[in-house]
Amino acid sequence: MSIEAKVVNQQFEVPSTQTAEDVTRRLMDIPQMMDKLEQVSSASQPALLLQWMEKERKKRYKYFHEQRDFVKALTDISERMRAVDPPQNRKKLLPGELKALVVPDMAYIPLGRVSDSFCRITRVLTDEGTVFSTHSRAPCLLCFEVIEDQVNSAGQRKLSTELKNPSDMLRKSASDPGLTSLEAEVARLVKKIAINGQLICVENAGLNSPTTTVTSDDSMDSTSELSREDSQQLNVIRGYSKTAYEMGLSKLLSASEVFGEGWEAKKERIRASSPHGHLPGWNVISLISKSNDDIRQEVFAMQLITTFQNIFHESGLPLWLRPYRIVSTGRTSGLLETITDAQSLDGLKKRGDYAGLRAHFERTYDVGDAFKKAQRNFLHSLAAYSVVCYLLQIKDRHNGNIMLDTEGHLVHIDFGFMLGIAPGGNWSFETAPFKLTKEMVVVLGGVSSPLFGEFVQLVALGLLAAQRQSDRVVALVEIMMHNSTFPCFQGRDVSRDLQKLRNRFLLQCSTEKTVKAVVKMIRVSYKNKWTKRYDQFQKITNGIVP
């Protein structure tokens, strides 16, 4: 039975075994019912209770349908914008669509979790939205004023802080003898593997496979060395890449890049003219409405990343991931959270004053505790995404799909290519286990720095934690691949891909062999030639800065 049918057919009955006192007690728990109780006899009280229950059922039924229709209306806006021709007229017509949007009482944006505080929509910001026009889609960015429920928000923020604070993770680690001994063992093994005190020998950095040679990260590489077959495949990849970039999320999710102003500045500007801006819990939220696009694989990717996030947290590790919120409302429609406190590395590098990632950190956070905290945030997110990108084989990691938030964390977005598929099919530039550029390592202080040594240890600890909980990830993938329409499973030998996933967890390896494998992965990934080539390819094809 569908959810709608359950709501429609829900019946309320007063069990025959209940006494009059039980019925009276139930009625007394209902607000504003005391006055009515005094006006009816005890024999009429069960009927009064049923009357109230039926009224509540109808209210829930009405609310369910109004909220469902509201969500559908959001994605319908994107579909109607797609039909507008010429596309240049879409942005001019969007405010009219938003003015006609019917917002029911107590409406909310369905991107929150059950544990989140309730945010009621109070106003549609008709002049703050925009349309992203492509030849086949018209995703819309929509903004709303909301009032957050103050009863639940304080407790929820406290819980969220407790779950996400890395210092709490470290304290948990210190109180866990098993984890502390494992950390010590991993640190000893990493030190043992280091060559002359260094984990990375610069002359060997970026080794990829026995069939490839390596050039320095400092020099710009090209695709001129590719064979004729590879060059033909390159044309195929170029077509896939253009389509992926057009359909992808890199141009959509960063609110600061879309609006051309900082999110906090935008909120203050809106607050100044809002009739609700003075109310406690006032806020502005934005989302992307999409139609004519199947985003269910992106939802699946967020489920996997959330699973890894939970594994790292339960293991007491400070590794940091950011699953963004996304709801598939149908086979070809959905809503996505915008990331309001981050900018893509591509957007950052296109700024006129950009002088390198390390220089950006130094200019943004100065040189005191704020810089050290941001540097550590960068370390924890870099290590976490390195583990996840290796295990899930996440590809298309150009700088449009990697963001940097205001606290220094890296945030990966757009997971259209994973678990064995890449732009162009089986042939891919991205042969490294994960993306690890010289610029990223310089933020940590270079390959000889203590933070880089900590990065190696955290990647090893993250993989070991994932090893212990590998069944959770493998089971989720196995369930979702059955008769799946996801691109990552279409036309593939899914049993073979599932076994490859199991193999990447290195389940048969001892702790020492796992640490050795991690060090090798890092050596292969650092300043990798083919990672550099893919970045150059994206610059030529889509204008994304390496």
CB 109 within 8 A of CB 335: yes
3-state helix, strand, coil in the chain (%, to 5): 55, 10, 35
* Cα 535 to Cα 544: distance, rounded to the nearest angstrom: 8
CATH code, domain with 481: 1.10.1070.11
Last residue of a domain, one of 134, 158, 182: 158
CB 48 within 8 A of CB 40: yes
pLDDT at 444: 97
pLDDT at 7: 46
pLDDT at 360: 95
Are 110 and 175 within one domain?
A: no
Residue 433 falls inside a structural domain: yes
Residue ranges of the chain with per-residue pLDDT less than 50 = 1, 3, 5, 7-8, 10-14, 154, 157-164, 166-167, 171, 202-224, 226-229
Are 57 and 204 within one domain?
A: no
Are 439 and 517 within one domain?
A: yes
Count of all residues that appear for the chain in the document: 546
**Burial (Cβ within 10 Å: 0-12, 13-18, ≥19) of residue 103:** middle
Are 137 and 244 within one domain?
A: no
Are 98 and 40 within one domain?
A: yes
pLDDT at 152: 57
pLDDT at 220: 45
Are 97 and 180 within one domain?
A: no
Model confidence, pTM:
0.82
Task: Note down the domain range covering 405.
Answer: 168-253+293-542
* Cα 452 to Cα 383: distance, rounded to the nearest angstrom: 10
pLDDT at 99: 95
Dihedral of CA atoms 138, 139, 141, 146 in degrees, nearest 10, equals 120
pLDDT at 399: 94
Number of domains in the chain: 2
Residue 405 falls inside a structural domain: yes
Are 29 and 132 within one domain?
A: yes
pLDDT at 5: 47
Last residue of a domain, one of 133, 158, 183: 158
pLDDT at 223: 46
Residue 280 falls inside a structural domain: no
Alpha-carbon torsion 442, 447, 451, 457, what sign?
positive
SS (H, E, C) 222-234: CCCCCCHHHHHHH
* Cα 59 to Cα 64: distance, rounded to the nearest angstrom: 9
* Cα 158 to Cα 498: distance, rounded to the nearest angstrom: 39
Residue 346 falls inside a structural domain: yes
Residue 265 falls inside a structural domain: no
Are 133 and 209 within one domain?
A: no
DSSP 381-404: HHHHHHHHHHHHT-----TTSEEE
Are 177 and 149 within one domain?
A: no
Alpha-carbon torsion 486, 386, 217, 250, what sign?
positive
CATH code, domain with 72: 3.30.1010
Residue 278 falls inside a structural domain: no
CB 340 within 8 A of CB 286: yes
SS (H, E, C) 63-115: HHHHHHHHHHHHHHHHHHHHCCCCHHHHHHHHHHHHHCCCCCCCCCCCCCCCC
Are 450 and 495 within one domain?
A: yes
Residue 463 falls inside a structural domain: yes
Residues 6+ apart with CB under 8 A from 349: 399, 545
Distances (CA, A) of 289 to 132, 134, 481: 10, 14, 26
Last residue of a domain, one of 100, 130, 158: 158
Residue 260 falls inside a structural domain: no
Are 105 and 205 within one domain?
A: no
Are 86 and 221 within one domain?
A: no
